[in-house]
């Protein structure tokens, strides 16, 4: 197991180099010279040359990248141009919001997708299967923001059950915090549950037709026991992979949901930075998001090894 983890970690290194270089290089594509942006038009050539040297802009791109990478590795993401707040401090307040939203969305998508998939598989080609399969087909073409708008129109305008938007930290007022998180979590979680439902149904159908299930039934294991103890455990292995592959899409969805529902998370940090042309926070938030995705993929691979003993470690 340890060598497996180490091998997977070693595989992450080139990925991280590519990812960090892309995030770094995006800034190079920006039109305009950062030196002029900082000093203004009235700068003397000597001042320009001095700042250029200080910012390492006179060095080759690869050196600039290494300098940037070194500061990022020590947790120094620079300051926001607008508020001159330390970007690392901004990250600390925003990461918990995105993590809370992502986990709640994941709970929603599994709580909806897995039971729906199991029911559809058990009642294959009957009406529950038809209903769930149609719904999941529709869910794949459903943009996150449209789900959000429809939920908002239904729950906060029409029924007036939920506040339209806002954020309260979980520990300050847990009930209100969760109430505010319901719609964002549904916005992100429901489209995802469509994918999970489809995968659960397909692998459940496959597993239920196998010999060992018939053996278990013949041995007198109760139908529920067969379903949950024997079938679901094996059927869930591909589902776990699908969930892992969807983490990127889940985070993309939370960018939309955070913007729609005014949640101060990483996604909104990206959007705000883009609109204010303040790119240090954008870089930092993107980096954290991508590292999150990579770690989620790593966890998926590891859980795969735990769930399926046949995976050679």
Contacts with another protein by CB under 8 A lie at: 14-19, 22-23, 26-27, 29-31, 137-138, 140-146, 149-150, 152-153, 156-157, 164, 248-249, 251-253, 255-256, 259-260, 267, 270-271, 274-275, 282, 286, 289-290, 293-294, 297
CB of residue 271 to another protein, shortest distance in Å: 6
CB of residue 149 to another protein, shortest distance in Å: 5
3-state class percentages of the chain: helix first, strand second, coil last, to nearest 5: 75, 0, 25
CB of residue 169 to another protein, shortest distance in Å: 24
Query: What span, in angstroms and rounded, lies between the C-alpha atoms of 268 and 256?
Result: 8
**SS3 of 255, please?**
helix
Q: Between 171 and 275, whose beta carbon lies closer to another protein?
A: 275
Distances (CA, A) of 28 to 32, 64, 111, 154: 9, 10, 44, 44
Half-sphere exposure in the Cβ direction for 175 (13 Å, CA): 0
Query: What span, in angstroms and rounded, lies between the C-alpha atoms of 20 and 284?
Result: 10
Q: Between 109 and 230, whose beta carbon lies closer to another protein?
A: 109
Query: What span, in angstroms and rounded, lies between the C-alpha atoms of 238 and 300?
Result: 10
**23 with 68: CB under 8 angstroms?**
no
Q: Between 177 and 276, whose beta carbon lies closer to another protein?
A: 276
Kindly state the tokens that stand for 29. Answer: 């594509």
Tracing tokens 């795969």 back to the chain, one arrives at 304
CB of residue 113 to another protein, shortest distance in Å: 17
CB of residue 235 to another protein, shortest distance in Å: 18
Q: Between 125 and 172, whose beta carbon lies closer to another protein?
A: 125
CB of residue 157 to another protein, shortest distance in Å: 4
Q: Between 43 and 57, whose beta carbon lies closer to another protein?
A: 57
Q: Between 152 and 196, whose beta carbon lies closer to another protein?
A: 152
**68 with 25: CB under 8 angstroms?**
no
**158 with 198: CB under 8 angstroms?**
no
């Amino acid at each position: 197991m340890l060598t497996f983890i180490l091998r997977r970690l070693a595989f992450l290194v080139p990925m991280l180099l590519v990812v960090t270089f892309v995030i770094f290089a995006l800034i190079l594509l920006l039109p305009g010279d950062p030196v002029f942006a900082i000093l203004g038009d009235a700068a003397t050539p000597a001042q320009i040359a001095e700042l250029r040297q200080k910012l390492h802009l006179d060095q080759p791109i690869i050196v600039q990248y290494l300098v940037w990478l070194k500061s990022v590795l020590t947790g120094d993401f620079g300051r926001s141009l607008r508020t001159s707040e330390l970007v690392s401090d901004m990250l600390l307040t925003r990461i918990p919001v995105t993590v809370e939203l992502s986990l709640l969305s994941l709970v929603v998508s599994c709580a909806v997708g897995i039971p729906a998939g199991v029911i559809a598989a058990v009642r294959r080609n009957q009406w529950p299967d038809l209903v769930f399969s149609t719904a999941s087909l529709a869910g794949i073409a459903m943009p996150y923001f449209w789900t959000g708008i429809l939920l908002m129109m239904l729950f906060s305008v029409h029924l007036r059950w939920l506040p339209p938007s806002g954020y309260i930290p979980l520990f300050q007022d847990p009930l209100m915090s969760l109430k505010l998180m319901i719609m964002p979590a549904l916005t992100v979680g429901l489209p995802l549950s469509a994918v999970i439902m489809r995968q659960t149904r397909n692998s459940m159908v496959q597993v239920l037709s196998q010999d060992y299930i018939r053996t278990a039934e013949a041995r007198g294991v109760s139908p529920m026991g067969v379903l949950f103890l024997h079938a679901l455990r094996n059927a869930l292995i591909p589902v776990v992979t699908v969930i892992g592959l969807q983490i990127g899409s889940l985070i993309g969805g939370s960018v939309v949901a955070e913007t729609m529902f005014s949640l101060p998370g990483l996604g909104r940090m990206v959007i705000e930075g883009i609109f204010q042309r303040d790119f240090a926070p954008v870089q930092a938030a993107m980096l954290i998001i991508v590292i999150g995705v990579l770690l989620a993929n790593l966890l998926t691979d590891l859980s795969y090894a735990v769930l399926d003993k046949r995976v050679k470690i």
